[in-house]
């Protein structure tokens, strides 16, 4: 496994004879890897000749500076988890991806203004901008995204279609703990008591008769609810527990 912290090093590797003509699977992440990321990497490994992982805490998708500062960055542990699956890790500093200071960005004007976008202004501009940059730099055959971030996945698919990018977006099922909570890098910030309570979030999404009923039930159980809405056969929600923001969705 080769770790590239400079884009020039990555570009030399990407154009080397050992990578020529090979299919490349790509898993973009912000680090703090868990079993859900491992599942993405394992699928990429099974379906491609080479696998690339990016670890980049993207500052432009955070509308809360405190959230950015608190985001976990266990790089050594991440590299250990990735090792069995990955040929190269791309882990540059922010300046490498934003030489323009974020003057140029990608904006979507419909889906990105709802749900997460309504509660996190500018979030999806940052997401779509960094995904476009990563796809341009990595030049993968396939890129793998988890279904937990349903809205993000839909927007990335739309980005690829709209901008005619030569990459296949592969959706992978959400990985959950035995109690049903979707795996997330943010879960490690929960206290043991809050972690136990958090399992009620997907359970309520799944069993409530309506989105409005789910909001009421979650608030009664002590969650701060940003939204619960039904879209295209999905129920999507975002809540906070102990100040930690969790998102999830279930199929209706």
Active site residues: 37
Query: CA-CA distance, 148 to 9, in Å (whole number)?
Result: 32
- Which residues pair with residue 229 across a beta bridge? 236
CA 161 to chain centre: 19
235 and 252 Cβ atoms separated by less than 8 Å: yes
124 and 152 Cβ atoms separated by less than 8 Å: yes
Query: CA-CA distance, 119 to 36, in Å (whole number)?
Result: 25
Quickly count: other Cβ atoms within 10 Å of residue 94's Cβ.
13
Q: Give the helix ranges, DSSP H, for the chain.
A: 7-14, 35-47, 65-70, 75-82, 94-97, 116-119, 123-138, 150-162, 192-198, 200-207, 211-220
């Amino acid at each position: 496994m080769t770790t590239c912290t400079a884009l020039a090093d990555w570009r030399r590797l990407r154009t080397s004879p050992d990578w020529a003509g090979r299919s490349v699977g790509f898993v973009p992440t912000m680090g703090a890897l868990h079993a859900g990321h491992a599942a993405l990497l394992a699928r990429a490994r099974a379906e491609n000749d080479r696998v690339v992982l990016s670890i980049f805490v993207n500052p432009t998708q955070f509308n809360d500076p405190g959230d950015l500062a608190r985001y976990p960055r266990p790089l050594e542990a991440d590299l250990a988890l990735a090792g069995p699956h990955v040929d190269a890790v791309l882990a540059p500093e922010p300046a490498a991806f934003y030489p323009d200071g974020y003057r140029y960005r990608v904006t979507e004007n419909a889906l990105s203004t709802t749900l997460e976008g309504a509660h996190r202004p500018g979030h999806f501009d940052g997401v779509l901008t960094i995904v476009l940059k990563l796809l341009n730099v990595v030049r993968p055959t396939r890129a793998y995204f988890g279904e937990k971030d349903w809205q993000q996945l839909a927007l990335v698919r739309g980005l690829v279609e709209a901008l005619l990018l030569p990459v296949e977006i592969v959706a992978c099922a959400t990985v959950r703990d035995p109690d049903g909570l979707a795996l997330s890098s943010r879960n490690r910030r929960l206290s043991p008591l809050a972690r136990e309570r958090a399992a009620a979030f997907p359970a309520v999404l799944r069993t409530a008769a309506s989105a409005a009923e789910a909001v009421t039930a979650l608030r009664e159980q002590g969650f701060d609810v940003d939204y619960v809405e039904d879209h295209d056969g999905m129920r999507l929600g975002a809540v906070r527990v102990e100040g930690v923001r969790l998102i999830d969705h279930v199929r209706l």
